[in-house]
Amino acid sequence: MLLPPVTDNIYVRKYPIRQCPIWPEVFIRGSGPGGQAVAKTNNCVQIKHMPTGIVVRSENRQKAREKLVYQLDILYNKDNSFDAISKREKAEKIKKNESRAKKTQDLKKEFKLREVVEHFIVNEDL
pLDDT value, residue 24: 86
Query: pLDDT at position 83, please?
Result: 87
What dihedral do alpha carbons 35, 39, 44, 46 form, nearest 10°? 140
Q: Can you tell me the distance from the alpha carbon of 77 to that of 80, in angstroms, rounded to the nearest whole number?
A: 5
pLDDT recorded at residue 10: 47
In whole angstroms, give the CA distance from residue 99 to residue 62: 42
Q: Decide yes or no: CATH 3.90.180.10 for domain 13-80.
A: no
Domain range annotation of the chain: 13-80, 82-126
Per-residue pLDDT tens, the chain, 126 aa: give them.
Answer: 454 454 444 455 555 555 555 678 899 988 888 888 777 888 899 999 888 899 999 999 989 988 998 898 888 888 888 888 889 999 999 999 999 999 999 999 998 888 877 776 666 655
